[in-house]
Amino acid sequence: MTQYDYIVIGAGSAGCVVVNRLTEDPETTVLLLEAGNPDTKPEIQIPAECANLLGSEVDWGYFSEPEPYLNNRKIFCPRGKVLGGSSSINFMLYVRGNPHDYDYWQALGNPGWSYQDVLPYFKKSENSSRGADAYHGVDGELSVNDLIAPTAISQRFVNACVALGYDHNPDFNAKQQEGAGLYQMTIKDGKRHSSAAAFLTPILDRLNLTVQTDALVTRLLFEGTRVTGVEYLYEGTLHQARVNQEVILSAGAFDSPKLLMLSGIGDAEHLQAMGISVVVDLPGVGQNLQDHPVVSVVYRATQELHPATTNGRDIGSAIGEAGMFVHSEGNLDVAPDLQLFSCAIPWLPPGYSLVDWGFTGVASLTHPQNSGSVTLQSLDPSDTPIIRLNYLQSQSDVQKLVTGIQLLRSLFHSSFFDEFRGEEVAPGATVQSGEALVAYVREVCNTTYHPVGTCKMGTDPMAVVDPELRVHGVEGLRVVDASTMPTITTGNTNAPTIMIGEKAANLIKGAGRVPQ
């Protein structure tokens, strides 16, 4: 049986980073197991095609259970099933979050995770088109660029925000997050720059790296409470691989807790009810699921909105180009509670009539009050987990999204959009009362595809990993992905997940120093 120093499960946003850093030492052997296939699907590389990747063969295509506060709707929860993971199917926005997010992580009992602690890891990964400064790096593998040809809608959205009295913010990833501006993107030479493209593809020729795609890990192998290897399914046959040092679980917020539970790590009562022998009783596994609920406002456009295209397709454009971070209630001592996106397409909720040309405003709740869970459906590793998002149990969350709708309407009814604005398609001009808007929110509320928190970091009884991302009560096992976030970050979660991969690699290697 083949042995490796490290086995990494999942070639996603964090996993690709960990593999890159560990194999820098030619004496360190690493096996990377990915359940999906290589990232060869052409649409992956075309930024404007990102929405068409959702529900395709490179997406796990998960759904939540019927959500009781969303009129019992099941919510589509896409996750990348491909090299690069969700960074190969996401909308490519590079948003680090708010300094308050990381200072709060440290305050929760996670030393080394304050904003000043994690900023060097963001910079280490980054090759910023803006050049090097106190907030940005240029020596990293990940290309972070400004859009070359944003749509007319995008710039007008920023102008409308400023006209309403909000700050113009040219860089959401610098000192201040509040304000309106254009998003930075993980796009390089007009193509998506996923975690796989940045960190994995350039090192595939390293002799100490073995990459196996289409390999579904079915369970962790133990001697007592020490992880000694993994079992995985490949081409219909079960295989095993042994590990000398550590297994790094980077399967994401749905599949990392699922594999832990299948392996006997989780809430003892749930495991016993499923007929699984308990290795370690960790009740927090699969709990604390957090995500960003969203609602949209859609207008018909009076003309085509896209910039100049190449062969009928704008390969360098993305869907959500402009946005704003804002406090709905004016409390500037905490992170903004709303994130807005402007899109030059009609992103209509289900049940609304399609239009040829349109533009959309999206309001995302950055810090919802309620959390959900991930549990096992069966003992079959190929079965999807049971996902409960538990959106909008809190009435204050509903009201903040109503505020987001009202703000988007104010922006789109400014003079900057007179040239393009047709009728309001969703929720529609007749939906004006508070009661009607609340009903609309519950009817259309969806996800921004940012699930985190299900293997949270900390030292409290519900924590799954310690501040060095080692699983409590287990030797030789870390979780390194978005599931370890104790609380969700303010904004898109890809950049923070890559940062977690960078910091974890440093911890694993015992480097003992923060990169400068």
Give residue 183's region: left, alpha or beta (phi > 0; psi -120 to 50): beta
Q: What are the structure tokens assigned to 59, written together?
A: 């997406």
Measured distance CA(40)–CA(361) in Å, rounded: 32
Residue 143, both tokens: 């290309």
User: What is the spatial distance between Cα 15 and Cα 9, in angstroms, rounded to a whole number?
Assistant: 7
Q: How far apart are CA 338 and CA 444, in angstroms?
A: 17
**What is the distance between the alpha carbons of residues 343 and 351, in angstroms, rounded to a whole number?**
19
Spatial separation of the C-alpha atoms in residues 259 and 79, rounded to whole Å: 16
| Beta-ladder partners of 188 | 191
Q: Which residue has the tokens 């079915």?
A: 218
With vertex at residue 124, the alpha carbon angle to CA 122 and CA 128, rounded to the nearest 5 degrees, is 75
Which positions are annotated as active-site residues? Answer: 450
Q: Alpha carbon of 304 to those of 118, 190, 300, 356: distances in Å?
A: 42, 21, 10, 9
Neighbours of 514 (CB within 10 A): 15
CB 293 within 8 A of CB 415: no
Closest CA to 509 of 122, 19, 15: 19
Distance (Å) of CA 314 to CA 22, 149, 319, 360: 37, 9, 11, 18
Report residue 423 as tokens: 């009728």
Q: How many CB atoms lie within 10 A of CB 167?
A: 14
Distance CA(88)–CA(106), nearest Å, equals 30
